[in-house]
Amino acid sequence: MRTIKMNPSPTISDVAKAAGVSTATVSRAFSRPEMLREETVIQVRFHATRLGYLPNLAARALSTGRQGNIAIVVPDIANPFFPPLLKAAQTAADLAGYSVFLGDSDEDPEREQRLVNKLVMQVEGFILASSRMPNKQILELSERQSVVLINRDTPGLPRVLIDTVAGINAAVAHLAELGHRSLVYISGPAASWSDQQRRSAVSSAAVLHKMKLESVHARHPSFDAGREITSAVIGMDVTAAITFDDFVAHGLLAGLAEQGVVVPRDFSVIGCDDVLGASTYPALTSVSARCDEAGRMAADLLMSNLQMDKRDDTRCLLETWLVVRDTTAPAPDSSLSRAKKKAHPKSAIGTPGVMRMRSTV
């Protein structure tokens, strides 16, 4: 353990001195080399690399107003829905020469606002994924900065939406086809656009198929919350559940198993987001989407807005589909009572928006 002084990085004027030119020439050797004699550029670059010179982006930002940074804010990095999205966005940004700040709001609107404030002067734009901030604050922000939203449908702003309506419709149709006459929707965060969309999609699909619809709220999109609402679900006289996300579904599966309810024989479960994939047991039927695609598109949208110096309000929908695995089966004779297990009807294969997957384990 020792006190140290980091050797200060060489600056543009160190390089200038070494190369026997002015700082302006050094600057141009990097940012506008076509203005200089080729020989000069080579000289300057030579001394720069020899000294280990790296341009100070903060200083550059100060004079150009272009930071070369963007920020991505998500409600919960640890939710597997986001990492692929983050990765894709970061890759796209990197390709365009941008660096990315990461913010985790922990599902808290105030913390999200504080994060945004801390970052706003250091970035050229924001990607807000599943933002929990009120519309007013988002619009305010968008007057200073380019903003692209993911899974939040605020008119006037560019946004990438994972359109679960198709997937949910397929899910409800799938249940109806299996003979279910009732289901429960287990809802997620109230501030979540996705939850609102899913809730209303389930609702109208239930009407269409003349199914009885109940609803329960999971206090948090997590395994534990899913397990907690199990008793409520069991007491509800329904034969199937569609949950806000895969975690709630996973928790519910665990809760049902504990109570001796056999899935899918006694009860069918469908998740959303398809992030657990085939790794649950039984392998979870889920509404799936390319969430990495959402990240990439949002980043590209932001980047192109920055380069064009314009603002559009593209509303970009990403399609979803149902992946049928092993948690859905024909309805039992009565809700949550024993029923003989039947094979999955083959009719599900080939239905539009439905994909039958072989369980991987």
Q: Report d(CA 118, CA 22) in Å as an integer.
A: 35
Q: Report d(CA 237, CA 259) in Å as an integer.
A: 15
* DSSP β-ladder status, 285-288 and 268-273: parallel
Three-class SS state of 299: helix
Residue range at the interface with a second copy (CB under 8 A); choices 28-36, 39-47, 68-76, 214-222: 68-76
* Position among 136, 143, 337, 350 found at the interface with a second copy (CB under 8 A): 143
Nearer to a second copy, 100 or 173 (CB): 100
Question: CA torsion angle for 290, 292, 298, 303 (degrees, to 10)?
Answer: -140
Q: Residue 42, Cβ neighbours under 10 Å: how many? A: 13
Contact 224, 251 (CB under 8 A): yes
Residues 63-102 that bind DNA (CB under 7 A): 63-64
190 binds a second copy (CB under 8 A): no
Q: Which does 136 bind (CB under 5 to 8 A by kind): a second copy, DNA, none?
A: none
Nearer to DNA, 8 or 260 (CB): 8
310 binds a second copy (CB under 8 A): yes
Query: Which of left, alpha, beta for 265 (phi over 0: left; psi -120 to 50: alpha)?
Result: alpha
Q: Report d(CA 22, CA 239) in Å as an integer.
A: 78
Which CB contacts under 8 angstroms, 24+ apart, belong to 340-343?
A: 341/265
110 binds a second copy (CB under 8 A): no
304 binds DNA (CB under 7 A): no
Residue range at the interface with a second copy (CB under 8 A); choices 17-25, 89-97, 201-209, 348-356: 89-97
Integer angstrom CA distances of residue 24 from 28, 31, 207: 6, 10, 70
49 binds DNA (CB under 7 A): no
30 binds a second copy (CB under 8 A): no
Size of the site for DNA (CB under 7 A): 30
Give the CA angle between residues 78, 151, 174 to the nearest 5°: 90
Size of the site for a second copy (CB under 8 A): 66
Binding site for DNA (CB under 7 A): 8-9, 11-13, 20-25, 27-28, 30-32, 35-37, 39-40, 53, 55-56, 59-60, 62-64, 121
Binding site for a second copy (CB under 8 A): 1-4, 6-7, 9, 54-59, 61-62, 67, 69, 72, 76-78, 80, 82-84, 86-87, 90-91, 94, 99-104, 106, 115, 117-122, 143-146, 223, 250, 253-254, 257, 276, 279-283, 309-313, 360-361
